[in-house]
Amino acid sequence: MERLQTALDKARKKRAGEITEDPQVLRETSAPSLPVGVSEAWSNLAEIRLDRSLLQHNRLVAMDSSGESSAYDLLRTKLLRLSRQHGWKRIAIVSSAMSAGKSTTITNLAFSFARQTDVRAMAFDFDLRRPSMARLLGQRLSSNMGQVIRGEVPFEHHVMRHGMNMAFALNDTASRHSSELLQNHETADLLTAVEETYATDLILFDMPPLMAADDAHGFLRSVDAALIVMEAEKTPISQLDVIERQVAELTNVAGVVLNKCNYTDELYGTSYGYY
């Protein structure tokens, strides 16, 4: 708890120009060995309790390696390669319209990343309008992301870990002024502090649809890349062109997931495509 608070104070001071990064510190944190206190910070997080039959019912199939998880594992591996190649640390999952499958994709991806134990990752529900990851995972929460961002609830009291290398920052309450909240300095400082405290290699963000609100448009400037989820057979190619251009103006495009696709390579045995 103290560690995250110290990191938050540091993030605030850095943003205010009160301190500059000590090159020595930079060298140390980018060293392959784990910075002091990181394992302890992860151990102190509460472990998420999951009901496998509920996960299956909600199309969350990537907790174990299987034929069903293979498309998500492939996506994970491609994202990881791109992230390492470009130094990406934050990836948002976006779609143009509603119900493309963003929340299902990010949650499955999170389970797939959890099995990649040399990578520390987190999945944030930043759909502050219609959050759904908590419901998909069958979690009742006693606090919400709005409270965490505003500093009313400590991050480490809210977030839950799955294993020692994946954590879920869930939400079950819509926040007023969600777009402004995601773009304010409190969100920026929180993310910087979380990255430092937990030495995350990657943070994934679930977002509301781009067409529904300006939340994602505003927040995309704070991420390194976005993965576009597109509902096959419902999204016209012209719409994909538009969304790709929109996203590319704000951040890097990590790729496009062709979801709910009836015609796929049987090698992967699921309804996912990716290019």
Ligand X SMILES: Nc1ncnc2c1ncn2[C@@H]1O[C@H](COP(=O)(O)OP(=O)(O)OP(=O)(O)O)[C@@H](O)[C@H]1O
Residues that bind ligand X (CB under 6 A): 59, 95, 98-104, 127, 130, 132, 209, 259-260, 271-272
- Among Mg ion, ligand X, none, the one that 70 touches (CB under a kind-dependent 5 to 8 A) is none
Sheet holding 225-231, edge to edge: 46-47, 160-162, 166-169, 121-125, 202-206, 90-94, 225-231, 252-259, 272-274
Return the number of the residue (38 or 230) whose C-beta is nearest ligand X: 230
Chain positions contacting Mg ion, by CB under 5 A: 102-103, 132
| CB 127, min distance to ligand X, A | 6
How many Å apart are CA 93 and CA 7, to the nearest integer?
26
Return the number of the residue (94 or 254) whose C-beta is nearest Mg ion: 94
Task: Tell me which residue has tokens 């969600």.
Answer: 178
- Among ligand X, Mg ion, none, the one that 222 touches (CB under a kind-dependent 5 to 8 A) is none
| CB 126, min distance to ligand X, A | 11
Task: List phi, psi (to 5°) of 204.
Answer: -105, 140
| CB 251, min distance to ligand X, A | 18
Which long-range contacts link 46-53 to residues 24+ away (Cβ below 8 Å)?
Answer: 46/160, 46/161, 47/160, 47/161, 47/162, 48/137, 48/139, 48/160, 48/161, 48/162, 48/168, 50/137, 50/138, 50/162, 51/138
Return the number of the residue (25 or 98) whose C-beta is nearest Mg ion: 98
Determine the distance from the C-alpha atom of residue 253 to the mean position of all C-alpha atoms in its chain, rounded to a whole number: 15
Return the number of the residue (70 or 95) whose C-beta is nearest ligand X: 95
- Among Mg ion, ligand X, none, the one that 101 touches (CB under a kind-dependent 5 to 8 A) is ligand X
- Among Mg ion, ligand X, none, the one that 209 touches (CB under a kind-dependent 5 to 8 A) is ligand X
- Among Mg ion, ligand X, none, the one that 99 touches (CB under a kind-dependent 5 to 8 A) is ligand X
How many Å apart are CA 90 and CA 198, to the nearest integer?
14
In the complex, which residue's CB is closest to Mg ion?
Answer: 103
Return the number of the residue (181 or 261) whose C-beta is nearest ligand X: 261
